[in-house]
């Protein structure tokens, strides 16, 4: 049998293209901001993870330019060998201090961060407890590791405890959860998870890709939000969202960081973060430290949009984060809604099966601290208009 046989015939993406409702790979001809130019349409962007609005900040852009001038375009090697810059170390030192952790190591992407951390930490005599709605990178990391992956029902602490009870005493346990779940915007039940970890001798890892810069008084994320920074053993995060760059990190004890640095294949065998990406992440971090009001601005504009949609009768997943998913139920209606909204100058993301259960398709909307209420009013009006056209209630 030809291995390429699977590429032929009908797929959901080919059907969507034939119907003219294909929602992916739209091209931007402007920078990422609250309003963008997308395929010739002036568009309100409510599908980005640019939570703090740093992608268009002159200070952040200038930091990237200066790094390009000083270090060139790339590092031509891994951190393990010739690809370490003083700039990398500077970012790691300042980020560790900000997160109240002993040490930080950086990876070239967020996806790679989870692959590199979990595959290094979990060995053949270990068990990884994984929330069913964790990010795809966590699932792939579990597969890459030699550990046994055990999934527990989403945010179901009773199910997690039942599964913890079954782990033999001679096995190590790592409980891994998203801090903020990327599709629903829900916050994990971190206090209960930490309590169970103490009870059963497990360690806790939080993927805070969508929590950093979003939760906590100072934007340190889910652990700060709950006052549990000393009880989370590993914090993973990304630079591609609140820090307006590209890359990822792990924050933990010096001992754990040193171990992962010397055993993680995705880390050792990948080129390091480019100078410009490192510099922009560092400058964004400094801006966040100087102005934690950005975090509150993000919360305020998200609440404004959430409350406005509710008043219009829009059915959504209600969680206290800048991710607001709107139910449209059918996959095809999600694709059509994205098309109609883009034509009206609003960009949102479709979330369809298998990312959601069949019949529970969503429009994933997300917000930026620098969005204005006027932009939100326009976006709300268009969303309600399109949902009415599609008879979604």
Query: Are residues 236 and 249 in contact, defined by beta-carbon separation less than 8 angstroms?
Result: yes
Please tell me the distance from the alpha carbon of residue 392 to that of residue 269, in angstroms, as a whole number: 48
The 10 Å CB-count burial string (b at 16+, else e) for 159-182 is ebeebbeebeeeebbbbbbbbbbb
How much of the chain is helix, strand and coil, in % rounded to 5? 45, 20, 40
- 3-class DSSP state for residue 360? coil
Q: ∠252-284-139 over CA atoms, to 5°?
A: 45
Spell out the residues 6+ positions from residue 324 whose beta carbon is closer than 8 angstroms to its own. Answer: 185, 302, 305, 306, 309, 316, 317, 365, 366, 367
The CA-based dihedral angle spanning residues 383, 187, 184, 50, taken in that order and rounded to the nearest 10 degrees: 60
Q: Is 270 a catalytic residue?
A: no
Nearest to 346 by CA among 365, 332, 328, 325: 365
Annotated catalytic, 125? no
Catalytic entry in 241, 333, 371, 382: 241
Structure tokens at 313: 């009768």
C-alpha separations of 266 from 19, 111, 202, 250 in Å? 40, 10, 24, 13
Cβ neighbourhood burial of 71 (10 Å; 0-12, 13-18, 19+): middle
Note if 182 is an active site residue: yes
Q: How far is CA 207 from CA 1, 9, 122, 251, in A?
A: 40, 37, 16, 11
Helices (H), 201-330: 222-226, 254-263, 265-268, 275-290, 293-311
Q: Which of 182, 242, 245, 264 is catalytic?
A: 182
CA–CA gap between residue 329 and residue 271 (Å, rounded): 41
Q: Which of 101, 135, 163, 210 is catalytic?
A: 210
Known catalytic residues are: 182, 210, 241
């Amino acid at each position: 049998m030809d291995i390429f046989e699977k590429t032929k015939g009908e797929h959901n993406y080919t059907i969507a293209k034939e119907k003219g409702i294909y929602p992916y790979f739209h091209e931007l001809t402007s920078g990422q901001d609250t309003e963008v130019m997308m395929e010739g349409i002036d568009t309100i962007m409510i599908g980005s993870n640019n939570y703090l609005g740093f992608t268009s900040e002159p200070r952040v852009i200038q930091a990237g330019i200066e790094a390009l001038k000083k270090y060139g375009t790339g590092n031509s090697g891994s951190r393990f060998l010739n690809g370490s810059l003083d700039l990398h170390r500077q970012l790691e030192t300042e980020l560790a201090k900000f997160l109240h952790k002993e040490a930080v190591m950086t990876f070239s992407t967020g996806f790679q961060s989870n692959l590199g951390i979990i595959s290094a930490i979990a060995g053949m005599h270990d068990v990884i407890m994984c929330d069913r709605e964790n990010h795809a990178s966590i699932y792939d990391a579990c597969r890459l590791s030699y550990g046994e992956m055990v999934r527990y029902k989403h945010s179901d602490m009773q199910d997690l405890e039942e599964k913890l009870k079954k782990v033999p005493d001679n096995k190590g346990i790592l409980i891994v959860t998203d801090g903020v779940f990327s599709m629903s915007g829900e916050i994990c039940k971190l206090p209960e998870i930490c309590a169970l970890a103490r009870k059963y001798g497990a360690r806790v890892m939080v993927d805070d890709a969508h929590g950093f810069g979003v939760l906590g008084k100072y934007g340190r994320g889910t652990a700060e939000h709950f006052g549990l920074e000393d009880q989370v053993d590993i914090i993973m995060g990304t630079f591609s969202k609140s820090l307006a760059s590209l890359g990822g990190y792990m924050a933990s004890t010096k001992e754990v960081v040193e171990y992962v640095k010397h055993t993680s294949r995705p880390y050792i065998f990948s080129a390091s973060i480019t100078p410009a990406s490192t510099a922009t992440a560092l400058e964004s971090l400094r801006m966040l430290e100087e102005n934690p009001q950005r975090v509150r601005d993000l919360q305020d504009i998200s609440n404004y949009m959430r409350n406005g949609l509710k008043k219009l009768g829009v059915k959504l997943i209600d969680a206290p984060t800048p991710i607001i998913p709107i139910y449209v139920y059918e996959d095809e209606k999600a694709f059509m809604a994205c098309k109609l909204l883009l034509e009206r100058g609003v960009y949102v993301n479709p979330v369809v099966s298998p990312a959601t259960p069949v019949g529970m398709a969503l429009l994933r909307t997300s917000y930026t601290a620098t969005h204005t209420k006027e932009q939100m009013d326009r976006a709300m009006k268009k969303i309600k208009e399109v949902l009415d056209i599609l008879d979604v209630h």
